[in-house]
Amino acid sequence: METSDLQAIFALSPAERIELAEDLWDSVALEAAGQPIKAHEIVEIEKRLAEHASNLQDVVPWSKVKANLQIA
């Protein structure tokens, strides 16, 4: 990427930069969706699921998290 490209991006309004960032993120997500999950990622997911299942008493419902955020 050229310096002039970056300068043009930074010259955009905040709303335009947000839209550009969203478009870039969406393009990455589309490409990533077609990629297979790697073995180490599966291991990590399984580890986190097991940790979650063994600590259900520590789980906070999303509705409670949202309510706490709105109070703060």
Q: Which tens digit of pLDDT belongs to each residue from 9-26?
A: 999 999 999 999 999 999
Identify the H or E element spanning 43.
helix 39-54
60 touches 52 (CB < 8 A): no
Per-residue pLDDT at 71: 76
Stated length of the chain: 72
| The token pair that represents 56 in the structure block | 């259900």
Higher pLDDT, 52 or 70: 52
User: What is the number of domains present in the chain?
Assistant: 1
Query: What is the extent of the structural domain holding 17?
Result: 3-71
Type of residue at 14: P
* pLDDT for the residue numbered 72: 58
Give the global pTM. Answer: 0.49
